[in-house]
Copies of this chain bind each other. A is one copy, B any other.
Amino acid sequence: MLRFAERTKGAKRSAIRELLKYTEQPEVISFAGGLPDPAAFPLDFLANVAQEEILHNAVKSLQYTTTEGKRPLRQSLAQWLLEEGIKTTMDQIVITAGSQQGLDLLGRVFLNEGDAVFVSLPTYLGALQAFRAYQPTLVGIPLEEDGMDLDFLRRAIREARRAGHDPKLIYVVPDFQNPTGITWSREKREELLEIAEEEDLLVVEDIPYRWLRYEGEHLPTIASLDRYGRVIVLLTFSKILAPGLRIGALVGPEEVVNMVVTLKQGADLCGPSLTQRLAVRFLTDYNLKEHFARLCQHYRGKLAAMLDALARHMPEEATWTKPEGGLFVWVKLPDGVDTTKMLERALAHKVAYVPGQPFFADGSGQNTMRLSFALATLEQIEEGIRRLGAVVKEEIAALSLAKQG
């Protein structure tokens, strides 16, 4: 009786979101979620502002608003992005439900069935999900320590075109990527723009973690280096204010933004006025510099604790990234280890992580896993990584036994 659309065929729920259900037992130390720490939310500020906006600004905070988002929010965002070297105006900004809705709307605006989208191996899972609804050809590009393998990318673009797949978008998370924590070098940022120009593609630069740098040099956004008008920026307040507000933004060429707004009308009419007002007040009335400094201080110690614990508890066969910011560390285990299967052993040891495979557009990455240090205490990080080290050692031993047997 139910005849679903063709596009539902490949649809599957995020393995991670489903997994989270099993990792929520109180005794389990979980490095699984991608959630920011609520201890870093500015509660007093938000509570006061919410009360004020509802009582004294009801039409602006509770009535419908425009599809593109509230004018003062787009204005103050444009101002703020200037500090990132991104010259933009409020007409080049549309407010979205987190950056996830931005990804969905880009798929909607650009992707015909079969069009090629280039993503790193691994990449943000939510981007894969958003794009897949439009049935594109997702092409995985190896991710190196300083960004995508750009020679591989060039070849892949040409191959896709030869195979009849119109190359439309390159999706990147250049700062402290989810899931690996890897940051692109300045050189690769510049070269990516040249490739986009030469090969006539758009770059989607997703920067959710950009303001969470705990050490090292702040690198320019790809958008700030762009002389061609080929970059669309996605940002979100989820990691720097609070995810439950669902405020993000898509920033790009006006022609793109206009089409995004046109299709967004059918998708949701407009975003929530109340949480947009909270975001405006956060940008205009709150001390952002101090806030970001506090956030970075909050997470810096956790990242250091995790890297330190990994060095002490992991077997030498394991390798991992050393991010300078963000919320994630990425661990690679020897070939043959399947982290999805290993999760059962981990849960028996009361520790949880996210298996890496779902982050790979090509289904590889079975021997990888993502660890988030954001929600755990320093003590939990030490104890959890100790448990995880034991799990990995057991798993490797069991594998080598099985091979001998």
Contact = CB atoms under 8 A, between A and B. Distances in A.
- Copy number in this complex? 2
Nearest to A230: B1
Interface stretch (A54-62, A302-310, A340-348): A54-62
A13 B262 CA distance: 5
Contact of A3 (B44, B110, B253): B110
Contacts of A83: none
Interface in A73-109: 97-98, 100-101, 103-104, 108-109
Given A7-B108, A166-B3, A272-B244, A100 B267 contact: yes
Interface string A244-255: 111000000101
A270 B275 CA distance: 14
Given A46-B62, A50-B54, A133 B266 contact: yes
B261 A245 contact: no
A249 to B, nearest CB: 14
A259 interface: yes
B261 A13 contact: yes
Interface stretch (A63-71, A154-162, A318-326): A63-71
Given A47-B50, A63-B242, A244-B65, A268 B100 contact: yes
Interface stretch (A124-132, A139-147, A213-221): A124-132
A269 B100 contact: yes
Given A3-B168, A13-B262, A67-B17, A126 B269 contact: yes
Interface string A225-259: 00000000000001000111110000001011001
Interface in A248-300: 253, 255-256, 259, 261-263, 265-275
Given A51-B50, A62-B46, A265 B104 contact: no
A34 to B, nearest CB: 8
A5 interface: yes
A61 B41 CA distance: 11
Given A98-B269, A104-B268, A4 B110 contact: yes
Interface string A30-50: 000001001001011011101
A403 interface: no
B46 A262 contact: no
Nearest to A126: B269
Contacts of A132: 266
Interface in A1-23: 1-8, 11-14, 17
A274 B245 contact: yes
Q: Is the contact region of chain A dominated by helix, strand, or loop, or is it mixed?
A: helix
A155 to B, nearest CB: 21
Given A4-B259, A262-B12, A245 B269 contact: no
Interface of A: 1-8, 11-14, 17, 35, 38, 41, 43-44, 46-48, 50-51, 54-55, 58-59, 61-67, 97-98, 100-101, 103-104, 108-112, 115, 126, 129-134, 166, 168, 200, 202, 238, 242-246, 253, 255-256, 259, 261-263, 265-275
30 contacts: A3-B166, A5-B108, A5-B110, A5-B111, A5-B134, A7-B108, A8-B259, A8-B262, A43-B54, A47-B50, A47-B55, A50-B51, A62-B244, A63-B242, A64-B238, A64-B244, A97-B97, A98-B269, A103-B266, A126-B266, A129-B265, A129-B266, A244-B272, A244-B273, A245-B272, A246-B271, A246-B272, A267-B267, A272-B272, A274-B275
The 5 A-B residue pairs with the shortest CB-CB distance, nearest first, are A244-B273, A129-B266, A62-B242, A47-B54, A62-B244
Given A50-B274, A97-B268, 11 more contacts: A2-B253, A8-B263, A11-B266, A13-B261, A35-B64, A38-B59, A62-B243, A97-B271, A104-B267, A133-B267, A246-B273
